[in-house]
Amino acid sequence: MWNFVGKQNGSQGYEPWDLKAGHWESGLSAFDESSLLRKVLPGSGEGYYEQDAITDVMKNNESKNHYFFLPLIFGLFGLLFHARNSPKEFMAIMMLFLMTGLGIIIYSNQPPNEPRERDYVLVGSFMTFCIWIGMAVPALYSIFKERLSLPSIGAAGMAAILVLSAPVIMGFQNFDDHSRAHHTASRDYASNFLNSVDENAIIFTYGDNDTYPLWYAQEVEGIRRDVRVVNLSLIAVDWYINKLRNKVNDSPALKLTIPAEGYRGKNKNQVYFATPAGIENNPEAPIEAILNYMNDPRSIRDDGAGNRFNTLPTRNIFIPANRDKLIANGLLSASDTINRVGKIPIKFSDSKGYLLKDEVAILDVIGSNFADRAIYFAVTCKNEKLLGLNDYMQMEGLGLRLVPFDSGSDRNLPGLYGSGRLDIDKTFDNVMTKWKWGNFDTVDTYVNGSYGAEVTAMKVIMLRLSSKLTEMRDNERAALVANKYFESFPHNNFTYDASIIPFINVLLRANKYDDAKKHIRILAIATSQNMTFYESLHGEVLASSWRDDMRYDLRSVNDLLSISSQMEDPDFLKEMEGLLKEYMPSQTPVKN
């Protein structure tokens, strides 16, 4: 339906009852408003939602594509014509259609929800259906010629023009959200990761979207070829681990304590803890000794069934932090003494029965290189990949650097963003002078959801930086970061919501009232439109799809009115009250 009728927006949509994401939409309002509900909300009365009531953001969403049923109608028309006039040929095409569509779904037992849209698996069936769209031309030709008695050229021309309208409409509708003209985000965001780290650094990355762009930037663009990018999704296999031993571009080979044979095949797939219960009953051991022990034949046990596996003698490991060596290698400042430690602990709880090969390899990379090269984890990594080292991290932009400082973590920030301490000067320099923004800061364009993780990462890092600067009463630099945020993530490409309010507060603390008012006004208008839209919804529709959004926007209403009342500008307060005050009640009225 997305491909031949039209779609509501670019969201994948996981639940059929969530009417704000993932539904097909033809562009014929009367039909859409009654049909897109999919009968999941009995008694909802008016159905989907009123197209006239949608907000500007919903209306102007580039991924809202309407085909008015034309490709589907022409395809079905061509299918019937084909079946009637050439049944054997039709059956062959139908088998191709079924095998490349429904057949693949059944054979692969495709799950209902995927991490990302994977319609490309079914592209064979889409292409096959397009054959029938083309068959609509001779179908219409026969009608025009035989029933309307049009001349051959006229009938052929009319049929071709009518059917051609479908791909033409599809081309126009899809161009704005599929065109990548002026988009440099993949390269720029990769550059931001690479330029966040020190010379000859090692950076662990996790997923495809924060690894392959980095490799492209290094191999094709020549950006920071001295940095070694280590992909955590691949480090569980022997061939990839052993490739780390090679020099790549300008990055020296990584040191690894465990030899190649130690990782080959099933070796170290699981390394079991042969230890007493309770971390306090486990002797402390340096990481180098642990790595050597795992390569010692004496660490191998037999389970009595012929299965041999490596073991670990303790759950209590530490990374030595030799002050003099770290200073000599430029990895530590002699004057940086607050919370400095002589060793970095890695403790595994009793609930963890064994280490997997990727965890062993991570320990090997860290233990074998910590004293010689800066080691980072990308902020987009999964938390468990840090092996409990969060409090010993130092944020330097998009990289979290392992450092010999027990600084604790900010638990109020999501994911890894609050890990360890923040290097304010490095992060400020990265954000203000080194980071690039993919042209999203200068071109009005569609920002694909695939950039989501990197965009979120940069936003949260800028929030942490500006908040820390404000805490230190460095309001001028905090305001520079806040203004950089609004400049880099403008409303036309990144819709404003309550998440921008902390940046507005930063501007207000720095007495940047004019800057703050500009963004307050944009957010207030957007919030007012959202609240008006919620009021147009029937109760069941609101409850199933927009209840949380409404609560989030009510938070914006309260915060914006509170902020405006403190600015000592009666005219501006009056303007904001005119936009928002009617929505102040805790329960916005909805249709029954």
DSSP labels for 568-583? T-HHHHHHHHHHHGGG
pLDDT of residue 591: 53
Contacts of 590 (CB under 8 A, 6+ apart): 534, 535, 537, 538, 539, 542
> Residues 133-182: pLDDT tens digits?
999 999 999 999 988 888 999 999 999 999 999 999 999 999 999 988 88
In a domain, 592, yes or no: no
Domain membership of residue 589 (yes or no) is no
By the 8 A CB rule, do 212 and 206 touch? no
pLDDT at 34: 67
Q: Give yes or no: residues 260 and 143 share one domain.
A: no
Domain boundary among 134, 159, 178: 178
Q: According to the model, what pLDDT value does residue 165 have?
A: 96
Query: Does 220 reside within a domain?
Result: yes
The single residue listed with the structure tokens 């007012």 is: 528
pLDDT higher than 80, residue 276: no
The pLDDT value recorded for residue 48 is 67
Q: Look at residues 178, 203, 230 and tell me which one is the last residue of a structural domain.
A: 178
pLDDT at 519: 97
pLDDT of residue 81 exceeding 50: yes
Q: Which helix (H) or strand (E) holds 513?
A: helix 513-535
Final residue of a domain: which of 144, 160, 178? Answer: 178
Kindly state whether residues 174 and 214 are assigned to the same domain. no
Average pLDDT over residues 115-127: 88
Taking residues 70-81, report their average pLDDT: 96
Report pLDDT for 590.
47
Residues 41/540, Cβ–Cβ less than 8 Å: yes
E strand or H helix at 268: none
pLDDT tens, residue by residue, 370-422: 999 999 999 999 999 999 999 999 999 999 999 999 999 998 898 899 999 99
Q: What is the mean pLDDT of residues 494-501?
A: 94
Residue 244: inside a domain:
yes
Q: What is the pLDDT of residue 37?
A: 43
Distance CA 511, CA 238 (A): 57
On the question of pLDDT at 328 being above 80, the answer is yes
| DSSP labels, 273-337 | E---SSGGGSPEEEHHHHHHHHTSGGGEEE-SSS-EEEEES-SEEEEE--HHHHHHTTSS-TT--
Chain-centre distance for alpha carbon 390: 21
Of 2-16, 56-70, 252-266, which gets the smallest average pLDDT?
Answer: 2-16
Domain annotation covers residue 242? yes
Domain count, the chain: 4
Q: Are 190 and 282 found together in one domain?
A: yes
In this prediction, residue 43 carries a pLDDT of 35
User: Could you tell me the CATH number of the domain that includes residue 470?
Assistant: 1.25.40
- 571 pLDDT exceeds 80? yes
Print burial letters for 454-468: b (CB count within 10 Å at least 16), e (below 16). bbbbbbbbbbbbbbb
Spatial strand order in the sheet of 284-286: 284-286, 316-320, 343-347
Q: In what side-by-side order are the strands of the sheet with 421-422?
A: 228-231, 202-205, 375-378, 399-402, 393-395, 421-422
User: Are residues 300 and 417 both part of a single domain?
Assistant: yes
| Averaged pLDDT score across all residues of the chain | 91
Rounded mean pLDDT of 191-219?
94
Whether 322 is in a domain gets the answer yes
Instruction: Give the pLDDT mean for 519-536.
Output: 95
Looking at the structure, tell me whether residues 48 and 94 fall in a common domain: no
**Position 187 pLDDT exceeds 70:** yes
- Evaluate if residue 482 carries a pLDDT over 90: yes
Q: What is the C-alpha separation between 59 and 69, in angstroms, rounded?
A: 19
What integer pLDDT is reported at residue 586 of this predicted model? 53
The pLDDT score that the predictor gives to residue 38 is 42
Asked if residue 47 has pLDDT above 80, the reply is no
What 8-state DSSP symbol labels residue 153? H
Region 424-453 average pLDDT: 93
- Dihedrals phi, psi of 139, to nearest 5 degrees: -65, -45
Residue 215 lies in a domain: yes
Q: What average pLDDT does range 171-194 have in this prediction?
A: 93
Asked if residue 591 is part of any domain, the answer here is no
- Produce one character per residue of 530-557: b if its CB has 16 or more CB atoms within 10 Å, e if not: bbebbbbbbbbbbebbbeeebeebbebb
Q: Is the pLDDT of residue 513 over 50?
A: yes
Clarify whether residues 157 and 248 are in a common domain.
no
Domain that holds residue 92: 70-178
Other Cβ atoms closer than 10 A to 563: 18
Position 111 scores a pLDDT of 86
Residues 148 and 76 in one domain: yes
d(CA 391, CA 51): 50
On whether both 145 and 219 belong to a single domain, the answer is no
Tell me the whole-structure pTM to 2 decimals: 0.89
517 & 547 share domain: yes
* Cβ-based neighbour number of residue 514 at 10 Å: 8
Q: What's the average model confidence in pLDDT over 553-575? A: 94
Q: Is the pLDDT reported for residue 592 higher than 80? A: no
Same structural domain, 136 and 224: no
Do residue 271 and residue 389 come from a single domain?
Answer: yes
Same-domain check for residues 40 and 152: no
